[in-house]
Each structure stands twice: as C-alpha cells, then as structure tokens.
Amino acid sequence: MKPRVLRLTLLAMAICIVVLFVWMLRREPGPPVAMIRVVDAAGKPIAGAVIKPDGMRPKSGPYSSGHYGWRTSEKGVTDDPVKTDADGNARVPYPKHVFERIETGQISFSVNHPLFVSDRPFRDVSTAPASGAPWRVWADYIWNRVRHNQLIARPDPVVLHKGAAIRLSVRPGFAVTTTAPLFAQATGDGSHETDFWSRPEPGVAVAARLASGQQLVRAIQFETNGITWFSDIMAVAGKAGATNELVVELKRGATVRGQLDRSIPRPVTNGRVIAHVGPVDVATGNPSLRWHAWTTVREDGSFEIGSLPPGRLEVTALCDGFISTNGLGQFSSVTYPQKHLLGTNALDITIGMERTARLEVRIFDDQGKPLPGASVSTSPNVYYDGWGSTIFASDCYNSADQFLAAPGLKPKGWWRSVPDFTGTSDAAGLAVVPNLPANVASFYVEHDRYALPAVVAAAGSKRRESDVTLKAGETNHAAVKLELREQTPITHY
C-alpha cells in the first residue's frame, strides 16, 4: 500500500474512532447492571434464590458512609425482586446515581432461598470511571458499552449456608387455645419472612433455616381478641443438619397504662404514644427480637397499650404543641425515648412532655419572587435500643400486625409520614411546619424546578439544607432563596 493511501486510511480510522467515542458518550445508556452470583459453601451455584435490592451507598469519598433508600419514583429503576438462574446468576439493575450526580458504589439487598439461611449483604458495583481515571479503565468501560450498552459489574459471589432446624411446641396446659397457630421470632436475617416458619399442626412451629451458632428464639401466640402471649427468650445452639426441639411455656403480655403529664392543657389533640420493647440481658443492636406497638391518646391525656413482652420498655409521645422529653443519649440532635423496665405485670407511667416549636419559612425563587408549591420538611430522629433511628412518630405500627397480616401483604401503616414535620408554601411563598422538636437544627426544601443552594458540610461533602435555631413554644421564622435545580449539581469532584 502506498504511503499516501496508508496515511488516509489511518486518518479515516482515527476519525471513525473519535466519532464512535463521541456517539457513545452522548448516547443515553440503560441503567447499570450488577451480576450477582449466589453459591453454596462448596461454591456450587444456587438456582431460584430471590434477590431483593433495598439500598445504595456512594463511591468512596466524602459521601461513602451514607446508606440511601432505593426510591424507585426518583431513580426510575425498580427494586423488583429477581431470581438466580441455573448458574446462580441474576442481573440486578441499579440507579447510576444515589442522589444528584453522586455515583453509586455499593448496593444492599436481601437473598432468600427455602433451603438456605438468608443473608443481607452489601456488594461493590461499578459505574462509569470517575474523573481522572487512567486510560485503561476507560478502555474497559468503552468496550463494555459497545457490547452491552450497559456497564456489567461482577461483584464477589454471595455464599449461602445450610441452616439448623428447630421445632417449637407449647407445653400442655400453657397454650392459648388448641387451635391457635404458633408464631416465633429468632435472631438472624430472614426469620421475619412469612415462609421462614411452617406450622404442621396447631401449637407447633418449625423452621429449617436457623443460622448456625447460638441463636435466640421467642414463641408468640394470639388469642382471637388480639391478646398476645409470649414465651421466655431461649438460647439455641444451631448446627447445620441438626434439629433442636424446644417446648415452651407462654405468658400473657403485660399492659402499659399512663398519661401525658399535666403540663399539657386538656383536651389533648392528635396525641399518640409509641412503645418499643427490647429484651433484657440481650445486647442492644439486635432488632430481631424487638416488639413495637402504638396507640392514640385520649382527650384527657390517658392511654393504654396492651400485650407487650417483658423487657426494656422505651416510650415516646407526640401531640399538638408538645413532645416527650428527651431520654438519656449521647447525641443532642437525636431524640431518645423515656426508659422503663417492664415485667409480666401491668405498668403505670407518666410521660414527661415539653413544648414544641412552630416554624414559618418564606421561600423565594431565583428571581426573588415568592414561590408556591415548595415542600419544606425536617427529619427529627428517634433512636431506639441501640439498633437504629427513624423519623419521630413515623413508626406508628404494631409488631403483631406483621404476624397476623395475610401472606405477602405488608401491614397497613408500617411507616407513616408525619404532617407535624412538613409544610407546603402557599401563593405568598409561606410554608408552615407546625410541630417540631426544638432540637431540630435544619430543614430541606423540595420543588420540581428549584432547590436550595448546596453548602459545604463535614469532610468536604455538600448538602442542600438550611440551618435554623428553634425556640420551643414560639413561632420561629426563616427565609430562603432557591436556585434552578440543575444550576450547580452536587458531584464527586
């Protein structure tokens, strides 16, 4: 080939490569996909394992410590469960960004199979290389895009193990009725799933997927009127392939009665009390054996919650204008429950209360005009029993409903939004958040077109929040000016 022809050929090839590169970068790809492989302890593939994604963590950097929920409505990628194929593989699409332009680095998910102990791992996943990545990384990325129009990640396989078997039965004379089914709680992932326990006959519960090692188990039975009976919490030395048989005695759950303290004017309006019971002599941080219940408060300030197991009782309360006083805890920005010790007898308590704060926020657009339709929200957290936090008063649910709900149905009201902590701006741009704990130190603003300007937080991360200092018993005021949503997106670098 003549030199001139060779040069023209090479130039044409270079132009084609550049055009292909630009086209691939401009083309809108599908969501990235993680290839999750599930195997047994011997490395053999497990077919039919159900993988249910539930959360994400960002790539390494100032945002990597956060764990973010899988909000399908925002990310456009569903969290539908998928099953592994004959080779133990499953394709799990996930959102490329955890929020704004912060890229996903890990996903969390549960893995369930009827013959193995359940697991809920995190796995590293890959997205497009971050800025400054070496050319070899970009080359691999481009090649995957050419072949699949998706980035396919292959994280470390999930290894499931065979479980121990357990058979619970009620000692004669201690059953609630001869026909009531027996339920149970156990430590470890998956014990709350509807298919974890089978009931071959009344008063008997059987499971074959209890994790090896020492596990804790509690039996539960319900009367037709909803009264709950509990066994003591028992230790089981689980061993794969072996069956443990336990005969239990049931005791009727205790009732907690009480009132909100007299600092609250009567009638009390919109009052609710939430009770959380963790087991005594069991380390905190184990959510498997918790029990949760709630009730409304009568106008005279009294309340009653029945059928609670013995243990460390924690209570919180909220009503119009008042919130329960803070219990002992290490973080001033978090609310802690008031603590009691609950035995098998009824307990009478008085819940200490203090005034809440009212917050009025004036919201303006980027031109300084009042902005209607903007949502102001806060996230006052309550911290239970050392195992995690949730938005205060959003947890108005009963653990009993988890057991009594029809298979496959999530109990109604498992999580509730709290109108006390949100407000929407009117035509004048005014949003009212009516009933806040005074330790709330910031608020968020959401709008289809506008967002709060990002501010630098700890460790170099950015957040779209506005700081506020509240005074209890008063109407507090704030004003914010928003910017166009895509004006300054939050990125890794």
The token pair that represents 412 in the structure block: 């109604």
Mean pLDDT to the nearest integer, 272-291: 82
* Domain edges within the chain: 1-30, 31-159, 164-252, 254-355, 358-374+425-484
How far is residue 51's CA from residue 244's CA, in Å, rounded to a whole number?
29
Is 127 a residue whose pLDDT tops 60?
Answer: no
Mean pLDDT to the nearest integer, 222-248: 90
pLDDT of residue 456: 87
pLDDT of residue 245: 92
Is 242 a residue whose pLDDT tops 70?
Answer: yes
Nearest to 400 by CA among 204, 279, 235, 229: 229
164-252 CATH choice from 3.40.190.290, 1.20.140.10, 2.60.40.10, 2.60.120.920? 2.60.40.10
Query: Mind listing the pLDDT tens digit for each residue in 98-124?
Result: 888 888 989 999 999 999 999 999 998
Query: Mind listing the pLDDT tens digit for each residue in 432-449?
Result: 999 999 999 999 999 999
Mean pLDDT of all residues in the chain?
87
How far is residue 255's CA from residue 226's CA, in Å, rounded to a whole number?
13
Mean pLDDT to the nearest integer, 323-344: 89
pLDDT of residue 138: 66
The token pair that represents 55 in the structure block: 């959360």
Q: Tell whether the torsion through CA atoms of 97, 101, 106 and 109 is positive or negative.
A: negative
Strands 33-39 and 152-153, by their bridges, are: parallel
Percent of the chain at pLDDT > 70 equals 83
254-355 CATH choice from 1.10.10.60, 3.10.20.30, 3.40.30.10, 2.60.40.1120? 2.60.40.1120
Strands 164-170 and 243-248, by their bridges, are: parallel
pLDDT band at 378 (very low <50, low <70, confident <90, very high): very high
Name the residue with higher pLDDT: 452 or 62.
Answer: 452
CA-CA distances (angstroms) from residue 193 to 288, 395, 408, 423, 477? 11, 19, 9, 36, 46
Any idea which of 250-264, 438-452, 458-472 has the lowest mean pLDDT?
458-472
Would you identify the CATH topology of the domain 358-374+425-484?
Answer: Immunoglobulin-like (2.60.40)
pLDDT band at 131 (very low <50, low <70, confident <90, very high): low
Residues contacting 233, CB < 8 A, separation 6+: 216, 217, 218, 279, 282, 289
Is 455 a residue whose pLDDT tops 70?
Answer: yes
Percent of the chain at pLDDT > 90 equals 57
- Identical fold, 31-159 and 358-374+425-484: yes
For 193, counting Cβ atoms within 10 Å of its Cβ (0-12 exposed, 13-18 middle, 19+ buried), the class is middle
Backbone angles phi, psi at 35, to 5 degrees: -90, 105
pLDDT of residue 389: 84
Any idea which of 38-42, 234-238, 452-456 has the lowest mean pLDDT?
234-238
31-159 CATH choice from 3.30.70.370, 3.40.50.300, 2.60.40.1120, 1.10.10.60? 2.60.40.1120
pLDDT band at 60 (very low <50, low <70, confident <90, very high): confident
pLDDT of residue 412: 54
Nearest to 333 by CA among 212, 465, 240: 465
pLDDT of residue 472: 97
